Amino acid sequence: DAGVIQSPRHEVTEMGQEVTLRCKPISGHNSLFWYRQTMMRGLELLIYFNNNVPIDDSGMPEDRFSAKMPNASFSTLKIQPSEPRDSAVYFCASSSHLANTEAFFGQGTRLTVV
Amino acid sequence: EDQVTQSPEALRLQEGESSSLNCSYTVSGLRGLFWYRQDPGKGPEFLFTLYSAGEEKEKERLKATLTKKESFLHITAPKPEDSATYLCAVQVAYKLSFGAGTTVTVRA
């Protein structure tokens, strides 16, 4: 398996623009997590899904952030409108079971909002 | 509030110089403690899961141990390729809360 695949790897956008990050989890995994990593706050869990259903989105910072998982092989994290403070590395991770958090991480998307 | 504290923030070692990293935690209902390795520009890579005090896990030059309040990651005779940031995380319910990490640099 190719592992968790994220795209794009890098994204530079202007403040106010919509940004969409994409994730393909490992085939057969039914839990998916979105994390954000910054120097100041480290790795923070934003939202997680189980069997394509959002279970907990309490980590989503604001209404500008939204995430979807239309099927077992694809998820998106959208920021609209983007702000400079959203600049961070966003990771997607998947695991075979929600109670099994031996999660496998993607390479991340480095987002820069100017 | 659940807290995970890692120390030291950074560690510089000479090749072959063994050392330990610390992860102390304050959580209610710990389900597991995880160690990950992160290389620059990459996502965290899973190393170990520990579930109960007294448990130990080993992988090559790394050994993780767990007590009721903290976990240690021992690096024995490190090599330059062990240079990375090591993250610990605690699982409460279905959530992982990560520490800030310890950045290890091993010089040849």
Query: Considering only alpha carbons, which residue of chain A is nearest residue B5?
Result: A42
Sheet strands side by side (includes B70-75): B3-7, B19-26, B70-75, B62-66, B56-59
Q: What is the pLDDT at residue B3?
A: 86
pLDDT at B38 over 90: yes
> What does pLDDT average to over chain B?
94
Distances (CA, A) of B105 to B36, B41, B67, B82: 16, 16, 26, 8
- Please tell me if residue B34 touches chain A, with a CB cutoff of 8 Å: yes
pLDDT at A98 over 80: no
Indicate the pLDDT class of residue A1, thresholds 50, 70 and 90.
Answer: low
B101 neighbourhood in chain A, CB within 8 Å: 42
Alpha-carbon gap, residue B94 to A11, rounded angstroms: 30
Q: What angle do CA B7, B10, B15 make, to 5 degrees?
A: 115
Residue contact A56–B44, C-beta within 8 A: no
Q: What is the pLDDT at residue B29?
A: 81
Q: Which pair of structure tokens corresponds to residue A66?
A: 């939204």
Q: What is the pLDDT at residue A105?
A: 94
A44 neighbourhood in chain B, CB within 8 Å: 98
Alpha-carbon gap, residue B16 to B76, rounded angstroms: 7
Q: What is the pLDDT at residue A2?
A: 80
Task: Give the residue, A111 or A103, on which the prediction is more confident.
Answer: A111
Question: Mean pLDDT over residues A66-90, rounded?
Answer: 97
Question: Mean pLDDT over residues A47-68, rounded?
Answer: 93
Residue contact A42–B100, C-beta within 8 A: yes
**Alpha-carbon distance B29 to nearest alpha carbon in chain A (angstroms):** 14
Q: What is the pLDDT at residue A99?
A: 61
* Among A8, A47, A3, CA closest to B45: A3
Question: Mean pLDDT over residues B77-98, rounded?
Answer: 92
Question: Mean pLDDT over residues A35-46, rounded?
Answer: 93
Q: Which residues pair with B93 in a beta bridge?
A: none
- Top residue of B23, B47, B94 to mutate, by most chain A CBs within 10 Å, is B94
Quote the radius of gyration of chain A (alpha carbons, Å): 13
Q: What is the pLDDT at residue B27?
A: 85
AA identity, residue A14? E
